[in-house]
Amino acid sequence: EPEVTQTPSHQVTQMGQEVILRCVPISNHLYFYWYRQILGQKVEFLVSFYNNEISEKSEIFDDQFSVERPDGSNFTLKIRSTKLEDSAMYFCASSAGWEAFFGQGTRLTVV
């Protein structure tokens, strides 16, 4: 069964460093998403991406964040100058139009 894959599963980084979280969406999907989940809290929408551009973003997704689809298979989330409060699970999802399928997440720990 096709699935969304995310790497790494766990990333530890020092405050102020840049991180890139990687996702391989399901191959025939056209819509891509990043979500964040702080420990014990709800899943929060960050950004949606369609047709090689951002289609929607939340107030969380400020200039510190960027997304890219560098080739036909990868979808990345870059976080510049990480802060302690960026520590969370980051989930990538993809969709063919309706139902979104999620990856297993990357746990980002900023120390």
Partner 1 sequence: GESVGLHLPTLSVQEGDNSIINCAYSNSASDYFIWYKQESGKGPQFIIDIRSNMDKRQGQRVTVLLNKTVKHLSLQIAATQPGDSAVYFCAENHNDMRFGAGTRLTVKP
User: Which among 22-30, 60-68, 76-84, 93-101 is the span making contact with partner 1, rule CB under 8 A?
Assistant: 93-101
What's the rounded Cα separation, in Å, for the pair 20 and 68?
Answer: 10
In what helix (H) or strand (E) does residue 57 lie, and over which residues does it extend? strand 53-57
Q: SS3 of 22, please?
A: strand
| Residue in 19, 25, 61, 105 binding partner 1, rule: CB under 8 A | 105
Q: Does 40 bind partner 1 (CB under 8 A)?
A: yes
What's the rounded Cα separation, in Å, for the pair 71 and 34?
Answer: 17
Contacts with partner 1: how many residues (CB under 8 A)? Answer: 24
- Contact positions vs partner 1 (CB under 8 A): 4, 33, 35, 38-45, 48, 55-56, 91, 93, 98-105
